[in-house]
Structure 1
């Protein structure tokens, strides 16, 4: 077994950093979005019903959309000729293509359903009654979230955090399209494995692949075990 190089460790560190920040951003974004999607559908106006259906479809789109397609459109959008990229350059800021910020945004979009759907399911199972009771007792929105929603839906939050973290570890197509393979900036573990395989360095590719496989398995095993234990309490 060959020893991991400094570039390999750099790719591992970058991957873990990307997964961690993606997980944090997704929990912040997905929580209010999932709460809104889990709202009562009865009595909705036609516009509200179709708006919610549209948002739910957009959220789930990365589940069926090839990652290279998403990465390609993000490259056009965030690159130097894109709407966002060109605007940033006119403001004296760098565009987001081939940068860590760019692949972070791409990871958040690509892993969005893995955070929203578990939270939406947990909120739907919770219902609105516990929150309404807490509100009637004088609890504010922040208090209701930390004393009612978070404890009762902790299983959903655990799954959302874990799936979004683990899913980011294996991202390849969307990152390759938008970020390329820049060491220390966009060369994550999946890209490093691809580069090793392309160079016919199968020993290094196999070692990194096995490391990613074992880490992903352990993360999912621990989390689903913890979720089962929490559900039995």
Structure 2
């Protein structure tokens, strides 16, 4: 493994740093946005619930290139968001880090929401009802009830989101292209190395992603097993 890192080029390290930055930002944003959404989906009886669930799950069935294409149309210079930003004196979001961050958040949304939904459903509303009768406010309920009881769900959601972002390719390539230091993440750089027939470098980076993916899945399955044991007890 030490030899692997020793042979990485500055371009490789730049892509690694950019990828980790994208993974971290995506995970934090989705935990902030996905938690209230998952809570509402797990407890709501609204007629809109099914439609919202379908929208959240769309990235699981849509080809990444399709999602990336529509985001490119939306965030590009001729799209509703991109053209509005340019009229306000800003740059459009296509082929930028902000653009691929938005794409990453949309594409990884179900990997945050689904584990949180499952965790909230297992907890149920009863613990919060008890906490409310004891005078706990909403913030107290969040930190003293929800976070401790659903800790495993949050860890799994964060881990899956980080890992899924690590291997994103289609959405990022469509929306961001391959701009070094801006949108050239590891998956895109591996493609570039392969296209240039630089197989040795592509293999090194691919091996790193393979090991990372295995570690993440090992953690997730281990946490799931522990959560199942705690639920039985």
Say whether the fold is shared (TM-score over 0.5): yes
Shorter-chain TM-score tier:
over 0.9
Runs of 4+ deviating beyond 2 Å:
222-233
The corresponding residue for 2:40 is 36
The corresponding residue for 1:5 is 9
TM-score with structure 1 length normalisation? Answer: 0.93
TM-score with structure 2 length normalisation? Answer: 0.93
Q: 2:126 pairs with 121, 124, 129, which one? A: 129
Name the CA distance, whole Å, in 2 between partners of 1:205 and 1:13.
Answer: 17
Q: 1:16 pairs with 13, 20, 24, which one? A: 20
Q: 2:142 pairs with 142, 145, 150, which one? A: 145
Structure 2: runs of 5+ lacking an equivalent:
none
RMSD: 1.4
2:54 matched to 1:57? yes
Q: 2:195 pairs with 194, 198, 207, which one? A: 198
Name the CA distance, whole Å, in 1 between partners of 2:20 and 2:213.
Answer: 12
Structure 1 residue 216: Cα displacement: 1.6
Structure 1: runs of 5+ lacking an equivalent:
42-47
Could you report, residue by residue, the CA deviation over 1:78-106 in whole angstroms, capped at 9, with x for unpaired residues?
00111000101111111110000000010
8 Å contact 1:111–1:167 — kept in the other structure? yes
Name the CA distance, whole Å, in 2 between partners of 1:40 and 1:185.
Answer: 40
Query: What is the number of residues matched between the two proteins?
Result: 226
2:64 matched to 1:67? yes
Could you report, residue by residue, the CA deviation over 1:88-135 in whole angstroms, capped at 9, with x for unpaired residues?
111111111000000001000000000000000111111101011111
The corresponding residue for 1:25 is 29
